[in-house]
């Protein structure tokens, strides 16, 4: 048989005895990887007359795309909203640790902060590919400070801002730079928000609606201007009302521009959203659901006091509150836990649960041609999981970057 060397010197790895999530269903076939990409075996056999250099027996595991977390405030003692001189080492620590949760890419998220924090932190966030060093960084998610005082949640009121006459210039002056920014959460009912949404969208930044008292028509107007996401649906927004369902009404609105899909984040930790509310959202608009952790610095640490930007928060079991109150402030749930809880709470298929943490966030960010999928030529970022959706191993660009010690191969 002719050698593979004619096309590439890189070894071809064949993952066998597995069920692959492809085309929305688990299929019993092998996964082929070369040079960090998913390979089409037909082209390999018929065009290159090639074969695998290495075969790996997956022992009947599920192989699914790596998880993408578009809202994570920190973890393991690291708070992305705190300006420190060694901020980069904090990003490195979190990106390394979340590999065990199945996260292969993420958006470090900053909650409402003073301009000085954005000016110091944002230049230290570098968009980069994942690898043995940790999950890839897709860009920052800036949640605030242009949000509603009434629905500020755990965001410090003294740092909230409104849009003045030069609305987009206000935003630029506050953040300092948009170079590494991927998502901005704002309240669409604020004056002059439409021009800001239009300008951010023009620059390829995803606009998310959240921490808001917007009614449905204000939310629909924001979507018509380019907004595509809802930050943690049901949390920090007007509750659903039958005469005006508010932002929640976007899930079934008939005013969404043709060809546009509105996505919405859900913190599926069993605390932020009642399982019945999770089921309602999922049944109303299944293709828009994006699982997020909204994890804070206390994720992975013992209960007690930790920070979330300018605030002190208290962890009590899985509950996280602003210290001295009963205001929820982020979560300590891991992404794999959220996926399992979502499947259990909704009774959805394994495929649906996995896609809510992989394909949907990739579609939201417009990167579904390379992330969140196991289609040919996509990045070989994937997980091996048990039938119960526990992560056994994490791969980035076809290389194993984390493995559960107890799982032998």
Q: Is 139 annotated as a binding residue?
A: no
Q: Is 141 annotated as a binding residue?
A: no
- What is the Cα–Cα distance from 45 to 263, expressed in whole angstroms? 39
Helix ranges (H only) for 64-111 are 87-97
Q: Is 328 annotated as a binding residue?
A: yes
Q: Is 236 annotated as a binding residue?
A: yes
Those residues with Cβ within 8 angstroms of residue 217's Cβ, 6 or more apart along the chain or in another chain: none
- What is the Cα–Cα distance from 207 to 194, expressed in whole angstroms? 11
Q: Is 211 annotated as a binding residue?
A: yes
Q: Is 143 annotated as a binding residue?
A: yes
Say whether 294 is catalytic: yes
Q: Is 154 annotated as a binding residue?
A: yes
Q: Could you tell me if residue 391 is left (phi over 0), alpha (psi between -120 and 50 degrees) or otherwise beta?
A: beta
- What is the Cα–Cα distance from 297 to 299, expressed in whole angstroms? 6
Say if CB 368 and CB 360 are below 8 A apart: no
Q: Is 232 annotated as a binding residue?
A: yes
The alpha carbons of the chain give a radius of gyration, in whole angstroms, of 21
Q: Is 353 annotated as a binding residue?
A: no
Query: Which contiguous run of DSSP H or E holds residue 291?
Result: strand 289-291
- What is the Cα–Cα distance from 81 to 110, expressed in whole angstroms? 5
Say if CB 180 and CB 127 are below 8 A apart: yes
Q: Is 360 annotated as a binding residue?
A: no
- DSSP annotation of 5 reads G
Per the residue annotation, which of 69, 79, 269, 294 is the catalytic one?
Answer: 294
Q: Is 272 annotated as a binding residue?
A: yes
Q: Coil, strand, or helix at residue 44?
A: helix
Helices and strands of the chain, counted as H and E runs: 10, 22
Known binding residues for substrate: 154, 235-236, 243, 272, 328-330
- Residues tagged active-site: 294
Known binding residues: 143, 154, 211, 232, 235-236, 243, 272, 328-330
Known binding residues for Zn(2+): 143, 211, 232
């Amino acid at each position: 048989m002719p050698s593979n060397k004619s096309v590439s010197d890189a070894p071809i790895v064949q993952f066998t005895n597995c069920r692959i999530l492809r085309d929305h269903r688990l299929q019993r076939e092998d996964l082929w990887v070369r040079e960090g990409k998913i390979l089409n075996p037909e082209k390999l056999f018929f065009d290159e007359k090639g074969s695998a250099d290495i075969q790996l027996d997956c022992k009947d595991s599920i192989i699914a795309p790596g998880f993408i977390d578009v809202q994570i405030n920190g973890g393991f003692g690291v708070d992305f909203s705190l300006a420190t001189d060694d901020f980069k080492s904090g990003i490195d620590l979190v990106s390394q640790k979340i590999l065990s949760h199945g996260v292969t890419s993420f958006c470090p998220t900053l909650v409402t902060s003073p301009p000085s924090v954005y000016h110091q932190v944002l230049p230290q966030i570098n968009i980069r590919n994942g690898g043995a060093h940790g999950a890839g960084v897709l860009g920052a998610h800036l949640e605030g400070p242009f949000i509603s005082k009434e629905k500020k949640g755990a965001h410090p009121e003294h740092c909230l801002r409104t849009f003045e006459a030069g609305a987009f210039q206000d935003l630029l002056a506050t953040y300092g730079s948009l170079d590494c920014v991927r998502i901005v959460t704002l309240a669409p009912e604020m004056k002059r928000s439409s021009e800001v949404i239009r300008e951010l969208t023009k620059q390829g930044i995803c606009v998310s609606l959240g921490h808001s008292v917007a009614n449905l028509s204000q939310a629909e107007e924001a979507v018509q201007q380019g907004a595509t996401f809802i930050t943690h649906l049901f949390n920090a927004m007007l509750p659903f009302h039958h005469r005006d369902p508010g932002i929640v009404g976007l899930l079934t609105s008939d005013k969404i521009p043709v060809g546009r899909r509105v996505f919405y984040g859900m913190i599926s930790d069993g605390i932020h959203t009642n399982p019945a509310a999770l089921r309602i959202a999922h049944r109303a608009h299944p293709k828009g659901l994006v699982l997020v952790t909204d994890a804070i610095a206390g994720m992975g640490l013992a209960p007690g006091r930790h920070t979330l930007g300018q605030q002190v928060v208290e962890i009590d079991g899985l509950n996280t509150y602003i210290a001295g109150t009963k205001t929820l402030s982020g979560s300590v749930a891991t992404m794999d836990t959220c996926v399992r809880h979502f499947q259990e709470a909704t009774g959805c298929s394994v495929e649906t649960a996995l896609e809510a943490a992989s394909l949907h966030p990739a579609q939201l960010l417009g990167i579904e041609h390379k992330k969140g999928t196991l289609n040919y030529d996509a990045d070989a970022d994937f997980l091996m999981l048990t039938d119960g959706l526990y992560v056994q191993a994490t791969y980035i660009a076809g290389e194993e970057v984390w493995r559960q010690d107890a799982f032998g191969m």
